[in-house]
Amino acid sequence: MIRSALFATAMLTATAGAAAPGESQAADAPAALPFRATVLADLDSPWAIAVLPDGRLLVTEKKGRMLLLSADGKQRRTVATVAVDSAGQGGLMDVVAAPGFANNGHVYFSYSTAGPGGKGVVLARGKLEGAAGSERLGGIETLFSARPFVEGNGHYSGRIAFSPDGQHLFFTNGERQKFTPAEDKTMTLGKVLRLTLDGKPALGNPLAAQGFQPEVWSYGHRNLLGIAFDAQGNLWEQEMGPKGGDEVNLILPGRNYGYPNVSNGSHYDGRDIPDHAPGDGYEAPKVWWNPVISPGGLMIYSGTLFPAWKGDAFIGGLSSQSLVRVDLDGTAARKGDQWAMGARIRDVDQTADGAILVIEDEDDGSQGRLLKLTPAPA
């Protein structure tokens, strides 16, 4: 299925221009893209990508395979095959190198599995070891499992981010398309969790004294498919809304983000959900979309190849088949650009030199390719 990198200039179009927070961004006429896309690899339903300190890439595939790719994508080897439940939205999900990877080789990842009571998302850790060309992910151990496991195949979430000091791990648990768990103190579902590097509840989590599960950092979330810290230490998260109301949120300790009691979208059966409103007691999104973009992965750009975008958030768009940029300014955010990619974009990352990496979802005509975006020729 590999195609020439020339597809980029032939197939991609862009819609640009800023919109105020909370407003839908109108599509403008196709415009020249500010980047050139090069195809690095063709993959089998990839889900997440992680760039290692030496430039090599770890990629997860939905059915349970974890790949190690050379920086140019030309060499690859399977370093782990994880037993996952890949029905529906399940599978092998996020992958992130530990802050101390250069010394300890630790890799954190998430996946969905079946167990007593149904299915759930798991946080695991392994060690990348072995000589060049024979690497494997060994010593795999389960660190945390969502509570409770429930029936169904959706809204696992499972995204991972490390705190800037490298001492804590933030892990997203979706509400599993069950609505009310997002507000339920007794469950980790529909929550952002703050854990130790060994997957235990971190000391000082803000809601334990109120009867919440001790891991909970924030709650009232739906399907949290992106989480990342910016250079100032602010924690940003994006999630899929219901029918409308996709969100970018500034995550603050102990706050309730409202789902399913409030949302700027509606239920899929047409029932209304009250919109966020000042004084309603819930933390409102900084940016939201209706119509939706169906956000996939989230990356805060820190490179130099695209200096005008330094500090901005980049989001993969699934149903919107787009790459989305959000302007971040301290704790404020507003819509930036939305570029049509002609394929569902599942995840976004960046290389050490500031190139942007995106992976396609391999669904609805997408091919599951790994693309490298660099500045377009002047």
Query: Beta 118-129 vs 106-115: how paired, if at all?
Result: antiparallel
Angle at the Cα of 240 (from 117 to 190), degrees rounded to 5? 40
Query: Beta 157-162 vs 169-173: how paired, if at all?
Result: antiparallel
Q: 345 burial class (0-12, 13-18, 19+ CB within 10 angstroms)?
A: buried
Q: Tokens at residue 242, please? A: 């219901």
Q: Tokens at residue 373, please? A: 């975006």
Report the C-alpha dihedral over residues 216, 218, 219, 222, rounded to 10 degrees: -110
**Cis-peptide into 181, omega within 30 deg:** no
For 340, phi and psi rounded to 5 degrees?
-70, 125
Report the C-alpha dihedral over residues 90, 154, 23, 32, rounded to 10 degrees: 30
- Say which residues have a Cβ less than 8 Å from residue 329's Cβ, sequence separation at least 6: none
> Positive or negative CA dihedral for 100, 358, 111, 176?
positive
- Say which residues have a Cβ less than 8 Å from residue 344's Cβ, sequence separation at least 6: 296, 316, 317, 318, 319, 321, 360, 361, 362, 363, 364, 366
Q: What is the chain's Cα-based Rg?
A: 19
* Residues designated catalytic: 155
